Structure 1
Amino acid sequence: IKMLNPQHKARLERRVVGSTNRWRLPQEPFFGDLLALPQMCQALGIDIEETLKNPERLRIPKIQKIFTENLKDKASQNGEADVTLECLGFKWELHQPQLFQSETLTKLYLAALGRGGSSPRRGKGQERNRVKRMIISLKVNDPAVTRAAFATALKNLYLKDEEMNVEEVLGVLASAHVLQFSRLFKRCVVTMMNGLRPSTIKNFYLAGHRYKEEQLTTACEKWLEMNLVPLMATQIHLRHIPQELLQKVLRSPRLFTFSEFHLLKTLLMWAYLQLNSKIQTIPIHETVLTFFNSFPKKCCFLDRDIGQSFTSNKGKAYSKLRLHSITSGKDLEELRHINFFPESWLIRVTANHYYALESGGDMAHLKDLTTQAVRFGLLFDQQNTTHSKMISIYGFFFEIKGIKHDTTSYSFYMQRIRHTDLDSPSTICEHSAVSLKSQRLVKYEIRAQTLVEGRWQEFSTNQITQKFGFVQPCCKSHVSIPFSLISLGFSFAPSLSHPILGAPGFQSSTGGQLGLRRSQRRLLSPTARQNHLGLETLKPPQSRRPHAA
């Protein structure tokens, strides 16, 4: 029979339970049932007249609140438990005030009351109702819930500030999800966000997806953006990074890397570990190169069946690499030698380099500021007072320099230098061209990323155009940040019609180091005298106090 008017709900009727015709807790209470309603109110110990005035009192969250308020100071005189919970092969004795912090246990308890498993009985001389101890059962299907973790979750019903370590937090989070224990669940999420490290990133990220906790998954992505190249590349835990997470991080403009070639080596290592599951230590780079070079030359690795998973719709990790950012002749030779990428990719990279050199360094083939900039980076040790790095692209040489002013203030800038002023010009110029142009116009964008009160904040200067030459600059701007702002990153990106270079970024890394991230700087038409690249001062919001590392 098909309903003619589906807008009208089906008629609600009370269910008869057993010969006693007792009330049974339905999914949605039916307040027109005047026989069941008094039984329900009696079982819950609430006034029927108040219920008729406010039916919402019978919904689960309201019931939790009522019971918690009524039983908060009403612990049993003899300390006996009110409920026995059967779960995971154990019996757990619980008291009502604590039990009602869990929405799952609240539903089980009320369902047991509705089935007549227990009823309040008024004894002679008793001033209050006493609820007879009952037995409730909970079936758990989540494999992450262990007996120890479940016991810890139940303990948190009684103790609000019970200590929890990172090793057990995953099971406790799963237990809190099963119990629908929101206070504990939120606490576990905070513990996991503060406990991100190479050994935990995979499980914490998957847990965030499984329990739909967006705050946790976002924290995992941001952590990996800063630590993929400087930290994970040296850890065997690199093998366990999910490909989906890796793709998200590679798409991010906040990704930190020393250079694009360092990022390439990290991804080659990740692929090598995927294909060699028995390897338990990080191999040297030459071992990885030998492995990929061992395949027959007639077909590159990514075009083989074994490499299809890395280039399919579900695995486009390597398509996110900015191969055009690899400009060193030595690195380009290695890129071709490993026979990893399709020939069409390498031809496109070579052609773009040729046209850029022919036009004096202008990179007209790059159109998008966010996704096509060249990135550079360096690590700044807190014990150092100064630290610098030389970079080159299409014959133009730059120095990125960081200066420590005091315990809470650092500044970073970039300046153009002559190739003859390099400490070892023969080494740097051996595999790169040298431009004799006296001027170079650079268009760039600085993105600063900093950790404020445990959360990543990002600041941006938008696009800046500045001239570089060989004469002492008439002005010099800096980016200064408090030391307690854990991480700062800078992005230099290309304009719509000219070449790019990378820019400095400043970030914290493990082991008490601050990372200087250089990402995306654009070379434009040659004009101008030498200027130091000053980075505009970026200040955190005045209303927020920085969180010390």
Structure 2
Amino acid sequence: IKMLNPVSRSASQEEQHKARLERRIVGSTNRWRLPQEPFFGDLLALPQMCQALGIDIEETLKNPERLRIPKIQKIFTENLKDKASQNGEADVTLECLGFKWELHQPQLFQSETLTKLYLAALGRGGSSPRRALLPGKVQERNRVKRMIISLKINDPAVTRAAFATALKNLYLKDEEMNVEEVLGVLASAHVLQFSRLFKRCVVTMMNGLKPSTIKNFYLAGHRYKEEQLTTACEKWLEMNLVPLMATQIHLRHIPQELLQKVLRSPRLFTFSEFHLLKTLLMWAYLQLNSKIQAIPIHETMLTFFNSFPKKCCFLDRDIGQSWLPLFLCLRLHSITSGRDLEELRHINFFPESWLIRVTANHYHALESGGDMAHLKDLTTQAVRFGLLFDQENTTHSKMISIYGFFFEIKGIKHDTTSYSFYMQRIRHTDLDSPSTICEHSAVSLKSERLVKYEIRAQALVEGRWQEFSTNQITQKFGFVQPCCRSHALKIQTVGIPIYASFAFIFPLS
């Protein structure tokens, strides 16, 4: 057998041969690919890819929505990650928001929306892909002609600046993003179906919760069905409604639905029930006085509600009826101070039947030595108080009085990360300033008081809430050690501030 001399080739033919030799078989399925170039321009590999994914190529080019975009994106991003076209020129021109944006394939395929638009444009190309793939018709692969794709956006949250930031993140993974622009970038990421950026925006928003952002971030979580974000907003507000929002004009922007959900939460932090009541009254005041630009003093708010005609209380009026579910969440039975109860009557806000019931329960409790016969469930009915333990605190305590029994709730910082919280019964004669606590209060002479209680502490650490609890404990409190002191809640945390809650009821003794 005589071997024929090889046919001589021109320089251009040699280059063409080398280019075709760059194709290589991948795996045992005889799939072809060009490792250094974008995959979709390779019309030999396209049908094999569609076959591997179980997709009809003609249907694919006619209706790109049928494609399993995440699978195809994975193929592209693995092979084209951080690579632009070899000559540096853009592959696609995106027309959107009155601008033209030049993009490269490796970055474009990170967006499901842009991937679909690109495939649709590919399907509208001049020649039939199937004819181009007939045996013997494979020619040298030229760079795909730059395509023009258009995207119409109806979301008003998407601004040109935010959209530009989103497109920039196709190229730069760690592009800086501030809290002020994150809403627009989140909306842009949602439109682009750019999951990596969307998740990053969610984390930025969760770490940027404050009075001025809580409303918009919560609504964004609902709009884009991001449960992680809405939950973070709810937990943040559970802790900060009373200590922070109550003094901010941004309180007026809290949606009623969110406020009601927070008021029903067993994790809600408040210094006392009266503090929570004042916060809710302030929210109602701000709804009715939209031009007010600063939180008024408490007396101004009381005067406003007291100015309504006396023929019926505020909650019985048409405007008050819509807010009735909010005020039903309050535990008015926890307000025992005679001065505070007199204030409630004075503003004519609550139905008279509510106040009569509260007063009657107080009378029966005092008559029976403090037993709260009307309270059964600690989680939903307990009297609650709170301490906010800040960085500068080494010890923090508060005296409380209820039905003639006096307690001190206390927090102690032992070292940089170690804390303990407890409550203890004290004699009224041991108070530093008895007149302040004992004024308008009875004094019980009972040596023991049965108490069912729970002490909780919560702190935010690296975007996650740590929760600590003694669980529910029933204990008799006397005047001498050790029965005068509750079980201590000992915690280890680097979170500051610490929100410590003390909830208790006096069961039948």
Shared fold (TM-score, shorter chain, > 0.5): yes
3-state SS in 1 of match to 2:385: strand
Q: Report if aligned partners of 1:118, 1:132 keep a CA contact under 8 Å in 2.
A: no
Distance 2:286 2:266 in 1: 26
Q: Normalised by the size of structure 1, how large is the TM-score?
A: 0.74
After superposition, the C-alpha distances for 1:143-191 in whole angstroms (9 at most, x for unaligned) are 1000000000000000000000000000000000000000000000000
1:4 counterpart residue number = 4
Tell me how far 1:469 sits from its aligned partner: 1.3
Distance 1:404 1:147 in 2: 50
Q: Report if aligned partners of 1:25, 1:114 keep a CA contact under 8 Å in 2.
A: no
Tell me how far 1:27 sits from its aligned partner: 30
Q: Report if aligned partners of 2:424, 2:484 keep a CA contact under 8 Å in 1.
A: no
The farther-off stretch of 448-457 and 214-223 is 448-457
Q: 1:16 to 1:157 in 2, by over 3 A?
A: closer
3-state SS in 1 of match to 2:406: strand
3-state SS in 2 of match to 1:23: strand
Tell me how far 1:67 sits from its aligned partner: 3.0
Tell me how far 1:424 sits from its aligned partner: 1.6
Q: 1:469 to 1:375 in 2, by over 3 A?
A: same
Distance 1:139 1:199 in 2: 31
Does 1:262 find its partner at 2:275?
A: yes
1:237 counterpart residue number = 250
Q: Which of 63, 73, 90 in structure 2 is aligned with 1:81?
A: 90
Distance 1:200 1:392 in 2: 37
After superposition, the C-alpha distances for 1:216-255 in whole angstroms (9 at most, x for unaligned) are 0000000000000000000000000000000010000111
Tell me how far 1:271 sits from its aligned partner: 0.3
Q: Report if aligned partners of 2:428, 2:443 keep a CA contact under 8 Å in 1.
A: yes
Q: Normalised by the size of structure 2, how large is the TM-score?
A: 0.80
Distance 1:369 1:392 in 2: 18
The farther-off stretch of 25-34 and 406-415 is 25-34
Distance 1:2 1:153 in 2: 65
After superposition, the C-alpha distances for 1:356-384 in whole angstroms (9 at most, x for unaligned) are 11111000101222110111123334323
1:508 counterpart residue number = none
Tell me how far 1:126 sits from its aligned partner: 8.9
After superposition, the C-alpha distances for 1:303-330 in whole angstroms (9 at most, x for unaligned) are 11221221xxxxxxxxxx0000000010
Q: Report if aligned partners of 1:328, 1:432 keep a CA contact under 8 Å in 2.
A: yes
Distance 1:208 1:385 in 2: 38
Q: Report if aligned partners of 2:456, 2:468 keep a CA contact under 8 Å in 1.
A: yes
Q: 1:481 to 1:222 in 2, by over 3 A?
A: closer
Distance 1:405 1:228 in 2: 28
After superposition, the C-alpha distances for 1:50-90 in whole angstroms (9 at most, x for unaligned) are 99999999532222233334444753233110000000111
Tell me how far 1:447 sits from its aligned partner: 3.2
Q: Report if aligned partners of 2:44, 2:138 keep a CA contact under 8 Å in 1.
A: no
Distance 1:223 1:430 in 2: 36
Distance 2:128 2:435 in 1: 91
Distance 1:454 1:300 in 2: 43
Distance 1:247 1:50 in 2: 50
Question: Which has the larger helix fraction?
Answer: 2
After superposition, the C-alpha distances for 1:490-519 in whole angstroms (9 at most, x for unaligned) are x555xxxxxxxxxxxxxxxxxxxxxxxxxx
Distance 1:92 1:84 in 2: 6
Q: 1:225 to 1:430 in 2, by over 3 A?
A: same
Q: 1:115 to 1:327 in 2, by over 3 A?
A: same
Give the 5 Å matches for 1:284-363: 284-310=297-323, 321-363=330-372
The farther-off stretch of 451-460 and 327-336 is 451-460
Distance 2:150 2:61 in 1: 32
Tell me how far 1:402 sits from its aligned partner: 1.9
Does 1:64 find its partner at 2:80?
A: no
Please give the root-mean-square deviation of Cα atoms over the aligned residues, in Å.
11.1
The farther-off stretch of 354-363 and 459-468 is 459-468
After superposition, the C-alpha distances for 1:110-155 in whole angstroms (9 at most, x for unaligned) are 0111111688999999964421101000010101000000000000
Distance 2:471 2:301 in 1: 39
Q: Which of 441, 444, 447 in structure 1 is aligned with 2:453?
A: 444
3-state SS in 2 of match to 1:183: helix
Distance 2:205 2:357 in 1: 43
Q: Report if aligned partners of 1:202, 1:242 keep a CA contact under 8 Å in 2.
A: yes
3-state SS in 2 of match to 1:16: strand
Structure whose alpha-carbon radius of gyration is higher: 2
After superposition, the C-alpha distances for 1:7-27 in whole angstroms (9 at most, x for unaligned) are 999999999999999999999
Q: 1:243 to 1:5 in 2, by over 3 A?
A: farther
Tell me how far 1:213 sits from its aligned partner: 0.3
3-state SS in 1 of match to 2:357: helix
Distance 2:117 2:100 in 1: 15
After superposition, the C-alpha distances for 1:408-451 in whole angstroms (9 at most, x for unaligned) are 22222211111111122122211111111111111112333343
Distance 1:453 1:228 in 2: 21
Tell me how far 1:472 sits from its aligned partner: 2.8
Distance 2:302 2:4 in 1: 70
With a CA cutoff of 8 Å and minimum separation of 6, indicate the structure with the bigger relative contact order. 1
1:428 counterpart residue number = 437
The farther-off stretch of 158-167 and 20-29 is 20-29
Q: 1:452 to 1:267 in 2, by over 3 A?
A: same
Aligned residues: 476
Q: 1:115 to 1:363 in 2, by over 3 A?
A: same
Does 1:175 find its partner at 2:188?
A: yes
3-state SS in 1 of match to 2:31: coil
The farther-off stretch of 3-12 and 429-438 is 3-12
The farther-off stretch of 277-286 and 73-82 is 73-82
1:26 counterpart residue number = 35
Does 1:35 find its partner at 2:41?
A: no
Q: Report if aligned partners of 1:169, 1:188 keep a CA contact under 8 Å in 2.
A: yes
The farther-off stretch of 42-51 and 212-221 is 42-51
Distance 2:244 2:5 in 1: 63
Tell me how far 1:471 sits from its aligned partner: 1.6
Q: 1:157 to 1:34 in 2, by over 3 A?
A: closer
Distance 1:23 1:308 in 2: 70
- Gaps of at least 5 residues in structure 2 are 7-15, 324-329, 488-493, 504-508
Q: Report if aligned partners of 1:25, 1:115 keep a CA contact under 8 Å in 2.
A: no
Distance 2:3 2:319 in 1: 55
The farther-off stretch of 408-417 and 218-227 is 408-417
Q: Report if aligned partners of 2:272, 2:385 keep a CA contact under 8 Å in 1.
A: yes
Distance 2:3 2:162 in 1: 48
3-state SS in 2 of match to 1:144: coil
1:166 counterpart residue number = 179
The farther-off stretch of 473-482 and 157-166 is 473-482
3-state SS in 1 of match to 2:381: coil
After superposition, the C-alpha distances for 1:447-479 in whole angstroms (9 at most, x for unaligned) are 333434421233433321122111232696769
Q: 1:297 to 1:45 in 2, by over 3 A?
A: closer
3-state SS in 2 of match to 1:9: helix
Q: 1:21 to 1:258 in 2, by over 3 A?
A: closer
